[in-house]
A = this chain, B = another copy of it.
Amino acid sequence: MPSPTSSVPATEPLTVMGAGLVGSLLSLYLARRGHPVEVFERRADPRRAGFQEGRSINLALSDRGWRALEGVGVADDIRQVGIPMTGRVMHDVHGNLTHQPYGVADQAIYSVNRGHLNRRLLDLAEAQPNVRLHFSQQCLSIDLKQQELHLLDTATKQEHTASYTRLFGTDGAFSAVRSALQKTDRYDYSQDYLEYGYKELTIAAGPNGSWAIEKNALHIWPRGQYLMIALPNLDGSFNCTLFFPYEGPESFAALQTPADVTAFFTRVFPDAVPLMPALEEEFFAHPTGSLVTIRCFPWKFNDDVLLLGDASHAIVPFYGQGMNAGFEDCSVLNELLDQHGDAAWPTIFAEFQQQRKPNTDAMADLAVYNFVEMRDRVADPRFLLQKKIEARISAQYPGRWTPLYSQVTFSHTPYAEAWSAGQHQDAIMARLMPHIQSEADFDQPDVQTLVQQEMSKKP
């Protein structure tokens, strides 16, 4: 049953495995193009009462994500429930604060509730007459030759089989679709864990739903080998995440009792502890999450199966780009459909993985790079001075110098290009900074001469 707005008369339904953020957005894109879409999701319907969130509560939406949401007309709706964060606020061990803007003027990333976003996208997908959502469908195995899914309905405990002609694997970092691909010949695959885990904690709302610390910022407690961050919620609370070694003198292994936890937090996060009344309880009640980078190739199997989102490129969360990269997958796929037409799947699958793989590989590297920046470098005054000097160069040479963070977060420059340009700019900064002791030094004639020399050589 093609949609009334269909541009191409669709014949066979497309199958989407996984109705998380990327799967629900992809389904919406495909349905809007006129394709009938069958969606299978392992979990129960998150819009039903009693559903337990399994993943982190906040996400940072930035330009790539917004563009993908705009493509299906849902951006404005989501923006109303997002909180703009215009910069980082660093908290030192004495509770002193340092601000660092993310970009220029009103550039911001948005703290958005994962559950809300997912439910909204599911509502929109379900409102399409050509989308059918099937929840509580665990994929037990896939017969790639027969093009069949072997599913378990976890509600009824019945196993059943579903055929597909075109399967989109948007079932996340532990994708069942990718598991099937991994067993095919010449399949490159890696899963690589950091020696760090994470724990989600809460800063409580202030009186009358006020925010106890600055609302429009991402808060960071950088401590060299570890860090805590906090993102604002609409109700005045903040969702905190502690990124912390599994083992060692300061680690999850070292904090065994509520007294250990309070003593440690009081010592290293003294300004946060009074705002965290449930600290001890949450620390032991919440699971310790692990941090994985997943790479694989190819992303397609024949012309029948394509992976998108975390299924093909799960990354660590330190650049806030995991969801944004997955959403950008949907934009890119949609552009390829525009370009080649809705029947040209073999071309589209091949071009998609060819174009996208180097970019998500770069993003995976950037995410690990930013871990070091967030836990260590942002506490260094020299680093913060360098960021200010970069902003000055950027202002002085419009369009010729975009800081790496801005390219990743506030542009649609392919990640690999952004990373390459960023490395080049880093090398320039390494040559300039020995000549600069304060922001005022930037205006010194000798520094200006050096900057001009560097800019004249810059591509």
Residues in A lying within 8 Å of B, measured CB to CB: 182, 185-193, 246, 290
Q: Is the CB of B188 within 8 A of A290?
A: no
Closest 6 CB pairs of A and B: A190-B190, A186-B193, A186-B290, A189-B191, A185-B290, A188-B192
Measured CB to CB, the closest approach of chain B to A245, in angstroms, equals 12
Measured CB to CB, the closest approach of chain B to A192, in angstroms, equals 6
Measured CB to CB, the closest approach of chain B to A364, in angstroms, equals 13
Which residue of the partner chain, among B188, B246, B290, contacts A193 with CB atoms under 8 Å? B188
Measured CB to CB, the closest approach of chain B to A186, in angstroms, equals 5
Q: Is the CB of A182 within 8 A of B190?
A: no
Q: Which residue of B lies closest to A193 (CB)?
A: B186
The complex places the Cα of A188 from the Cα of B187 at a distance, in Å, of 17
Residues of B within 8 A of A290 (CB): 185-186
Q: Is the CB of B191 within 8 A of A192?
A: no
Which residue of the partner chain, among B188, B193, B246, contacts A191 with CB atoms under 8 Å? B188
The complex places the Cα of A450 from the Cα of B398 at a distance, in Å, of 55
Measured CB to CB, the closest approach of chain B to A94, in angstroms, equals 34
Residues of B within 8 A of A189 (CB): 189-191
Q: Which residue of B lies closest to A297 (CB)?
A: B193
The complex places the Cα of A266 from the Cα of B187 at a distance, in Å, of 33
Task: Taking A186-B290, A188-B192 as given, write out 5 further A-B residue pairs in contact, using a Cβ cutoff of 8 Å, ordered by the A residue number.
Answer: A186-B193, A187-B193, A188-B193, A189-B190, A189-B191
Residues of B within 8 A of A185 (CB): 290
Measured CB to CB, the closest approach of chain B to A183, in angstroms, equals 8
The complex places the Cα of A244 from the Cα of B187 at a distance, in Å, of 18
A selection of 16 A-B contacts at a CB cut-off of 8 Å is: A182-B191, A185-B290, A186-B193, A186-B246, A186-B290, A187-B191, A187-B193, A188-B191, A188-B192, A188-B193, A189-B189, A189-B190, A189-B191, A190-B190, A190-B191, A190-B192
Residues of B within 8 A of A190 (CB): 189-192
Residues of B within 8 A of A186 (CB): 193, 246, 290
Find the residue from A182, A186, A188 having the highest chain B CB count within 10 A. A186
Residues of B within 8 A of A187 (CB): 191, 193
Residues of B within 8 A of A246 (CB): 186
The complex places the Cα of A192 from the Cα of B187 at a distance, in Å, of 7
Residues of B within 8 A of A182 (CB): 191
Measured CB to CB, the closest approach of chain B to A321, in angstroms, equals 22
